[in-house]
Chains A and B, each alone.
Chain A
Amino acid sequence: GAGVSQSPSNKVTEKGKDVELRCDPISGHTALYWYRQSLGQGLEFLIYFQGNSAPDKSGLPSDRFSAERTGGSVSTLTIQRTQQEDSAVYLCASSPYGTGYGYTFGSGTRLTVV
């Protein structure tokens, strides 16, 4: 597609359940990033994938969070045993270069944990 696609756009889940968020990057973009934006906060880096290199997971807030990128394309962010503080907008971005410019963000998944 022409842009970065994220699904679902909205997700409401009960505390303690697992959720999966999906990101389809722009075709050919080798770099893929996950960020989240909590209410009133800036975007917080979560994880970065670049080609076949080991991902940079330094931003994942706890071991309940994990992400994978299959075939260098689609990525899934999984949150296990969700907590209320996980409520946020989760944004995916892709870039052809792995540099600070050239990011294209998706519209995000709004996650609400009740």
Chain B
Amino acid sequence: DQQVKQNSPSLSVQEGRISILNCDYTNSMFDYFLWYKKYPAEGPTFLISISSIKDKNEDGRFTVFLNKSAKHLSLHIVPSQPGDSAVYFCAASEGTSYGKLTFGQGTILTVHP
């Protein structure tokens, strides 16, 4: 049972354009959502998060949008840079789960110069 899904295995974008990565979830108890970025041979690194009481959180070039009614979140990267090329994981947690995260399968983002 895949509670967090990233349906696009890969995304290719031109440098300077917007990258939009999508994530859907099924568990209505999730109340905190995170995006992690992973380079090859490295562990994932935290990128940005959003609480279920918000619908948008922005940090520099990165913005996460949450649509609770649709159980959907997205990560926007504007403008995209070649250094953003990595695997992006969406993750979710419940307030009582002690920080245990449920991850999506990941989306490989490639930003072309």
Contacts and interface: CB of A to CB of B under 8 A. Distances in A.
Interface residues of B, number: 24
Interface residues of A, number: 29
What's the dominant secondary structure at chain B's contact region?
loop
B99 A48 contact: yes
B41 A107 contact: yes
A95 to B, nearest CB: 6
Interface in B87-107: 89, 91, 93, 97-106
Interface of B: 4, 6, 32, 34, 41-46, 49, 89, 91, 93, 97-106
Q: Which 8 A-B pairs have the closest CB atoms?
A: A105-B43, A100-B93, A42-B103, A43-B103, A42-B105, A99-B99, A100-B32, A100-B99
Interface of A: 4, 31, 33, 35, 40-45, 48, 50, 56, 59, 91, 93, 95, 97-108
